[in-house]
Amino acid sequence: MKYMANGRGPALIVNGQLTERATFEITREMIEMTTLPGREPDHTWFKLDANGHYHAFNKEGELPTLDARYADVRTFGDMEAEDVFVGWFCAICGEMVEPKYKPITPSGFTSPAPGRISWGGEFWLPATDAILSSGTQVSIRVPEFRRFGIAEITEADGESSHRSIRYSYVGIGELAERKA
């Protein structure tokens, strides 16, 4: 699917800033998803960290913009280390984020769900803004479609317009979709 965002279509927000216009393309596969008994993601939860990076559960209950961190812990007299979960951290800036879960009573179940997608496109920002260089990771959000993720800038072109800079980007993870 290819989407155009240019005032007549969906808005694209990059690092908390609305772009002048944008395009993005999506390719999706289907996967089997098994939930764990005991708790489930609270799909109403979201977080904007101090740098404007957007975090939320996707439809599958994953946290695609966060990295889980573990620490090696050794008990007294024990020679083997054990990995202990430390928390969730923003994949771009490293800020710790605490997602919200809610309790459930039934045990886990398996169902088909939308899986990983490949995505990318272009967006334009005013030339007066700070220039994003190739390789820079950015937070992308498309509120109309409830989608968000982390992308990498692959090209910045200020030659095509003196008032705007065109950026090409590619998703480096899932373009997640929030539950309605």
pLDDT, one tens digit per residue, over 65-99 is 999 999 887 666 666 667 889 999 999 999 999 99
Whether the per-residue pLDDT at 128 is higher than 70: the answer is yes
Query: What 3-state class would DSSP assign to 55?
Result: strand
One-letter amino acid at 136 equals T
pLDDT at 154: 94
Residue at 30 is within a domain? yes
pLDDT at 14: 93
Residue at 35 is within a domain? yes
pLDDT band at 6 (very low <50, low <70, confident <90, very high): very low
Residue at 75 is within a domain? no
Residue at 126 is within a domain? yes
How far apart are alpha carbons 79 and 53 in whole angstroms?
40
Using alpha carbons only, how large is the chain's radius of gyration in Å? 19
Q: And the tokens for 95?
A: 């800020």
Mean pLDDT of 130-153: 90
Domain count, the chain: 1
Percentage with pLDDT > 70 across the chain = 81
How far apart are alpha carbons 177 and 145 in whole angstroms?
7
Instruction: Please name the residues in contact with 88: beta carbons below 8 A apart, sequence gap of 6 or more.
Output: 63, 66, 67, 68, 69, 96, 97, 98, 99
Whether the per-residue pLDDT at 159 is higher than 60: the answer is no
Residue at 117 is within a domain? yes
Name the DSSP letter for residue 36: P
Q: What is the pLDDT of residues 40-59, one digit of tens each?
A: 899 999 999 999 999 999 99
pLDDT at 179: 87
Which domain does 151 fall in, by range?
Answer: 2-63+101-177
Model confidence, pTM: 0.56
Residue at 36 is within a domain? yes
Torsion of CA 142, 143, 147, 150, to 10 degrees: 50
Query: How far is Cα of residue 67 from the mean position of the Cα atoms in its chain?
Result: 11
pLDDT at 38: 75
Residue at 47 is within a domain? yes
Name the DSSP letter for residue 143: G
Could you tell me which of 46, 22, 1 has the C-alpha nearest to residue 151?
22
Residue 35 CB neighbours (<10 A): 18
Whether the per-residue pLDDT at 105 is higher than 80: the answer is no
Residue at 73 is within a domain? no
Name the DSSP letter for residue 61: S
Whether the per-residue pLDDT at 120 is higher than 80: the answer is yes
Query: What 3-state class would DSSP assign to 144?
Result: helix
Highest mean pLDDT pick, 29-33, 107-111, 166-170: 166-170
Q: And the tokens for 8?
A: 């007549």
Q: Share the mean pLDDT of the chain.
A: 83
Mean pLDDT of 158-176: 79
How far apart are alpha carbons 158 and 170 in whole angstroms?
19
pLDDT at 66: 97
